[in-house]
Structure 1
Amino acid sequence: MEVSCDLKGVDFEWFAVDRNGRLALFVTAGDGFVPASVAAAADAISTLSSTISTPHVGTGHVWEDYGNVGLYVYDWAMPVGPYGLIQSPLQALSPGFRQAILGLPALPKFDVEFGVTELVGMVDCVAA
C-alpha cells in the first residue's frame, strides 16, 4: 500500500471497508497514515464526511455522533499509532449513506473485522 504524506498535520477523516463489508471511519489526529488513493480523493471524502451531524465536536462525545450514523470509528494513537477502535455503531447505517460511502472514488479494504479488531495498521490494508 502506498501511503501519502500530503495530509500530514491535518486531522483528516477517511472511510474503509472490512472483509465482511462493514464500514469504518478513520481519524488521523494529524499523524495517522492515509493511503495515497484516499489522499487523491480527499475532497470527495471530506465532502461526504462533512454531512455527518457532529453536535459534540470538540468533546469526547463526538465519537458517539459517528456511532449514531452506524459507523465503527478508529482513531490514531499518538504518536506512532496504530489506529485503535474508539466507537462501535449505535444504530444501523442507513442504506443511502452506505451507498454514498461505497461510491467514493477511493475506499480501502482491510483484511480484518471492524469491531472485533481493536488495532488496525498499514499491514492490514489489502487494497487501496
Structure 2
Amino acid sequence: MAKDIVGMEFDWFAVDKDGNVALFATAGAGPVPEQVFASLAQHDELAEHIPVAGWGSSQVWNSFAQAGLFAYDWRDAIKAYVRVAEPTQQLGSSLAERLRASSLPRLAVSFPLEHEVRLPVEPIA
C-alpha cells in the first residue's frame, strides 16, 4: 500500500497511449497509481528482465534508456515526475510484449512529448 512506501525509493512502470514504456522513480514521495499495488509481484517480475546497472548513481537513468525505456524521477518542488532519460534503442521484442501485455497502468500521455508527468492521484503523504 502507498503508506508502506512513504519515504522509501519505489520504482514502478507504466505504458503511454502509444505503447511506450517508462519507469517512474518516486524519490520517496511521488504518487503511485493504486493499480501498481494490486500487481506488485508482476512489477517485480518485469523488473527482473530489465538489465540495469549503476544503481545509486545517475548512471542508472542511462541504463534504463539503453534498455529501451523512458525514465521519470519525482521532483517534490514541482509535484511532478520529470523525464531524466529517453530510450536510446527499442525495447527487445520479448520484453516489450511482456510489458505491454501486463496490467501496468496505462497513462493518457505520450512519453516522447511529455517532459513532466503529473498524475491524477494524491501525492503520498
Same fold (TM over 0.5): yes
Following superposition, the deviation at residue 15 of structure 1 comes to: 1.1
The aligned amino acid for 1:31 is A
Following superposition, the deviation at residue 79 of structure 1 comes to: 4.8
Which structure 2 segments of 5+ residues have no match? none
Q: Does structure 1 residue 122 correspond to structure 2 residue 125?
A: no
Match for 1:109 among 103, 106, 111?
106
Equivalent residues in 2 for 1:85-96, closer than 5 Å: 85-96=83-94
Q: Does structure 2 conserve the Cα–Cα contact (< 8 Å) formed by 1:32 and 1:76?
A: yes
Cα distance in 2 for partners of 1:7, 1:40 equals 14
Cα distance in 2 for partners of 1:80, 1:30 equals 15
CA-based RMSD: 2.0
* Equivalent residue number for residue 67 of structure 2: 69
**TM-score where L is the length of structure 1:** 0.83
Size of the aligned set, in residue pairs, is: 121
* Equivalent residue number for residue 97 of structure 2: 99
Identity percentage over the alignment?
32
Cα distance in 2 for partners of 1:55, 1:108 equals 25
Structure 1 pair 80–7 and aligned structure 2 pair: CA distance change class (3 A): farther
Give the number of the structure whose residues are more often strand, by fraction: 1
Cα distance in 2 for partners of 1:14, 1:36 equals 11
Which structure 1 segments of 5+ residues have no match? none
**TM-score where L is the length of structure 2:** 0.85
Q: Which moved more, 1:51-60 or 1:32-41?
A: 51-60
Deviations along 1:5-58, one digit per CA (max 9) or x if unpaired, are 443223111111111111111111111111111112122202321332222111
